[in-house]
Amino acid sequence: MIVSQPPYALAPTPFRFPALASLAGRAALGGDREVALATYLAARLADDALADRGLSEPVRAERAASAKTWLSTLSLPAAIRTSLARLVEASGADPRGIGPAVRSVLAATTSRLDQASRAELGRLAESFERG
């Protein structure tokens, strides 16, 4: 049965990084969930540094500083924490450093993320590497 939306309904909001969010929702409490949530947060901050998002560098820097504080409260493996912190810092500064930082996160989290989540991060890195 096809149901049309009423004329006053809002258009659906696109959800960025649905595979990462889904992985975080499915993961058991603890390490894997914290890795997925932290990666999701860092990816969202990086995605917001794209030119078409329109966020100024001071706003991105403030968000990055708050995210680093939040990251410090999580129990993450050292290699993952370091690469995520680097990505968060890059999201608040010059966007040219974001592509390599995303690749670093991808390398550090390969064993913790599913294929769809890794693909989302790969597309994010490519969007910065293209220009």
pLDDT digits (tens, 9 = 90+) for 19-61: 999 999 999 888 899 999 999 999 999 999 998 888 899 999 9
pLDDT band at 2 (very low <50, low <70, confident <90, very high): low
How far apart, in whole angstroms, are the C-alpha atoms of residue 29 and residue 95? Answer: 33
Residue 3 in 3-state DSSP?
A: coil
Residue of higher predicted confidence among 86 and 129: 86
Measure CA of the first residue to CA of the last residue in the chain; give whole Å: 44
Contact 81, 71 (CB under 8 A): yes
Q: pLDDT tens digits, residue range 79-98?
A: 999 999 999 999 999 889 99
What's the confidence (pLDDT) of residue 112?
Answer: 94
Residue in the block written with tokens 């030119």? 51
Please state, for a pLDDT cut of 90, what percent of the chain lies above it.
76
